[in-house]
Amino acid sequence: MALVPVPEPPPKKAEVMTPPPAVAITPCDPWPRPYEMDGNLRRVAPYHFTYNTNCKQRWRGRGILEIFKDEFRDRPPEYYMRWKEEQYS
Protein backbone atom coordinates (compact mmCIF):
# COMPACT_ATOMS: atom_id res chain seq x y z
CA MET A 1 0.00 0.00 0.00
CA ALA A 2 1.48 3.31 -1.04
CA LEU A 3 1.04 6.56 0.80
CA VAL A 4 -0.23 9.43 -1.29
CA PRO A 5 0.30 13.02 -0.20
CA VAL A 6 -2.95 14.87 0.39
CA PRO A 7 -2.96 18.64 -0.10
CA GLU A 8 -3.80 20.61 3.00
CA PRO A 9 -7.03 22.61 2.81
CA PRO A 10 -6.60 26.37 2.85
CA PRO A 11 -6.99 27.89 6.31
CA LYS A 12 -10.47 29.14 7.12
CA LYS A 13 -10.90 32.84 7.50
CA ALA A 14 -11.93 33.86 10.98
CA GLU A 15 -15.48 35.15 11.16
CA VAL A 16 -15.43 38.75 12.27
CA MET A 17 -18.26 39.47 14.67
CA THR A 18 -19.63 42.93 15.18
CA PRO A 19 -19.02 44.24 18.68
CA PRO A 20 -21.92 43.90 21.10
CA PRO A 21 -24.08 46.95 21.79
CA ALA A 22 -23.08 49.29 24.56
CA VAL A 23 -24.07 48.13 28.02
CA ALA A 24 -27.05 49.89 29.53
CA ILE A 25 -26.03 51.90 32.55
CA THR A 26 -28.08 51.72 35.71
CA PRO A 27 -29.09 55.18 36.94
CA CYS A 28 -27.37 56.60 39.99
CA ASP A 29 -27.80 54.38 43.04
CA PRO A 30 -29.52 56.47 45.74
CA TRP A 31 -28.00 56.16 49.18
CA PRO A 32 -29.47 55.72 51.68
CA ARG A 33 -31.97 53.53 49.91
CA PRO A 34 -35.55 54.85 49.87
CA TYR A 35 -37.31 52.69 52.43
CA GLU A 36 -41.06 52.39 52.85
CA MET A 37 -42.58 51.52 56.19
CA ASP A 38 -45.36 48.92 56.06
CA GLY A 39 -46.58 48.53 59.60
CA ASN A 40 -43.56 47.19 61.48
CA LEU A 41 -41.81 46.13 58.28
CA ARG A 42 -39.28 48.29 56.50
CA ARG A 43 -39.27 47.58 52.76
CA VAL A 44 -36.97 48.85 50.05
CA ALA A 45 -38.86 50.86 47.46
CA PRO A 46 -38.64 49.46 43.90
CA TYR A 47 -35.60 50.68 42.00
CA HIS A 48 -34.03 50.11 38.60
CA PHE A 49 -31.20 47.58 38.31
CA THR A 50 -29.40 46.50 35.15
CA TYR A 51 -28.47 42.82 35.27
CA ASN A 52 -25.59 41.96 32.97
CA THR A 53 -24.80 38.39 32.03
CA ASN A 54 -22.62 36.51 29.58
CA CYS A 55 -23.72 35.03 26.28
CA LYS A 56 -22.34 32.04 24.44
CA GLN A 57 -20.63 32.91 21.18
CA ARG A 58 -22.90 30.56 19.23
CA TRP A 59 -25.96 32.47 20.48
CA ARG A 60 -24.90 35.83 19.07
CA GLY A 61 -27.06 37.10 16.23
CA ARG A 62 -29.80 34.53 16.81
CA GLY A 63 -33.34 35.00 18.06
CA ILE A 64 -34.46 33.72 21.45
CA LEU A 65 -36.86 31.17 19.95
CA GLU A 66 -34.16 29.76 17.70
CA ILE A 67 -31.79 29.41 20.65
CA PHE A 68 -34.39 27.69 22.81
CA LYS A 69 -35.35 25.29 20.00
CA ASP A 70 -31.71 24.24 19.50
CA GLU A 71 -30.39 24.29 23.06
CA PHE A 72 -33.35 23.10 25.13
CA ARG A 73 -34.79 20.19 23.21
CA ASP A 74 -36.65 18.63 26.14
CA ARG A 75 -39.79 20.45 24.99
CA PRO A 76 -41.31 20.78 21.51
CA PRO A 77 -40.78 24.08 19.62
CA GLU A 78 -44.52 24.80 19.90
CA TYR A 79 -44.12 25.06 23.68
CA TYR A 80 -41.68 27.97 23.36
CA MET A 81 -43.76 29.69 20.68
CA ARG A 82 -46.87 29.42 22.86
CA TRP A 83 -44.91 30.77 25.85
CA LYS A 84 -43.75 33.77 23.83
CA GLU A 85 -47.31 34.51 22.68
CA GLU A 86 -48.64 34.32 26.24
CA GLN A 87 -45.88 36.53 27.66
CA TYR A 88 -45.96 39.23 24.99
CA SER A 89 -49.62 39.41 24.02
Of 55 and 48, more confident: 55
At 1, the pLDDT band (50, 70, 90 cuts) reads: low
Q: How many residues does the chain have?
A: 89
Predicted confidence at residue 30, as pLDDT, reads 65
CA-closest candidate to residue 23, choices 54, 1, 64, 66? 54
Distance between CA 2 and CA 59 in Å, rounded?
A: 45
**What's the mean per-residue pLDDT of the chain?**
82
Q: Is 45 a residue whose pLDDT tops 90?
A: no
pTM for the full model?
0.43
Q: Is 41 a residue whose pLDDT tops 90?
A: yes
